[in-house]
């Protein structure tokens, strides 16, 4: 079941998401939060850190699980998700690095399941809130079109479109690693709540395909229709291709 909230812009949507996370942290100081990288959640993380600092909230018992990580990119590379999560979540919130988990697989990893990460998530009590962005082709995490909806954390191959899109963080597209370890859609569906954010017209097709058609593995975002408690926070541009009749139902 997916609820949809359309805000005028990214600033308003990010403020609402930051407030949801803040409320969770205040209510449950040992909450387990799934964190995405990419451009989309950056402002929400900033706003959350401001609130946490301003109100002197204890963050020492929180746990964070990143969605994904490139394979064959050194962790100290500025664009590894170890580095990105450290820069956008760990340091601004003032949590100890031991509270933050990022999936790992050996550099010579073959495509396929990497189950220890799901076990770690389970041992932490499961994810209370999983944050997500979405790719132009509908990927969530690095679950590219065709990934089974019951996939556990696994090593998968990035599509050319995803490598092209992520090349803005690198000097060239060749530098974007072709393989990544990612929470599976099955992992994401086990979270108690999922929050997907999407901003800008480049995401409008992916959002329409996630909401307006039945769940199908060629449209990874549509798998979230199978989630028990999922909300999409969209700006008007990302929501532009979603039928208003459908939004009334939601
Ligand atoms: C990031 C991730 C990806 C991104 C997606 C959108 O951890 O798993 O699914 O959320 O590629 O990226 P941005 O936000 O940069 O448009």
Find the farthest-apart pair of alpha carbons in the chain and give their distance in angstroms, rounded: 48
Nearest residue by C-alpha to atom 4 in ligand 1? 133
Rounded (10°) angle between helices 10-27 and 42-54? 50
Phi-psi region of 112 (alpha: psi -120 to 50; beta: other; left: phi over 0): left
Ligand 1: list residues with CB < 6 Å: 36-40, 67-68, 133-135, 139-142
Is the four-CA dihedral 233, 235, 238, 239 of positive or negative sign? positive
Specify the pLDDT at position 249: 46
Residue in 14, 17, 37, 196 to alter for ligand 1 test, most ligand atoms within 8 A of Cβ: 37
Mapping DSSP to helix (H, G, I), strand (E, B) and coil, where does residue 236 land? coil
36 Cα to the center of ligand 1, angstroms: 7
6, 239 in Cβ contact below 8 A? Answer: yes
Angle at 139 between CA 133 and CA 142, to 5 degrees: 90
Nearest residue by C-alpha to atom 9 in ligand 1? 141
Residue in 79, 83, 100, 135 to alter for ligand 1 test, most ligand atoms within 8 A of Cβ: 135
Specify the pLDDT at position 248: 53
Q: What is the mean pLDDT of each run of 10 residues along the chain (250 residues)?
A: 95 98 98 98 98 98 98 96 98 98 92 96 98 98 98 98 97 97 98 98 97 96 98 97 69
132 Cα to the center of ligand 1, angstroms: 7
pTM of the model: 0.97
Specify the pLDDT at position 75: 94
Nearest residue by C-alpha to atom 10 in ligand 1? 133
166 Cα to the center of ligand 1, angstroms: 9
124 Cα to the center of ligand 1, angstroms: 24
- The alpha carbon of 138 is separated from its chain's Cα centroid by a whole number of angstroms, namely 12
Query: Which residues are designated catalytic?
Result: 68, 137, 139, 144
Residue in 10, 38, 130 to alter for ligand 1 test, most ligand atoms within 8 A of Cβ: 38
């Amino acid at each position: 079941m997916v609820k949809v909230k359309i805000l005028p812009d990214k600033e308003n949507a990010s403020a609402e998401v930051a407030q949801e996370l803040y409320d969770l942290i205040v209510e449950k100081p040992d909450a387990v939060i799934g964190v995405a990288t990419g451009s989309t959640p950056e402002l929400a993380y900033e706003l959350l850190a401001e609130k946490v600092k301003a109100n002197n909230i204890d963050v020492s018992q929180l746990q964070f699980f990143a969605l994904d990580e490139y394979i064959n990119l050194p962790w100290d590379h500025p664009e590894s998700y170890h580095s990105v999560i450290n820069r956008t979540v760990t340091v601004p919130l003032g949590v100890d690095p031991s509270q933050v988990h990022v999936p790992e697989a050996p550099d010579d990893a073959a495509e396929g399941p990497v189950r220890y990460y799901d076990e770690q998530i389970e041992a932490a009590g499961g994810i209370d809130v999983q944050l997500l962005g979405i790719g132009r082709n509908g990927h969530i995490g690095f679950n590219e079109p065709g990934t089974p909806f019951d996939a556990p954390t696994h090593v998968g191959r990035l599509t050319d479109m995803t490598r092209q899109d992520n090349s803005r963080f690198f000097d060239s597209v060749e530098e974007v690693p072709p393989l990544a370890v990612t929470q599976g859609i099955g992992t994401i569906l086990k979270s108690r709540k999922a929050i997907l954010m999407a901003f800008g017209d480049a995401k409008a097709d992916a959002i329409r395909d996630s909401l307006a058609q039945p769940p199908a593995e060629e449209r990874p975002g549509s798998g979230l229709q199978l989630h028990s408690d999922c909300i999409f926070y969209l700006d008007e541009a990302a929501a532009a291709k979603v039928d208003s009749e459908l939004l009334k139902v939601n």
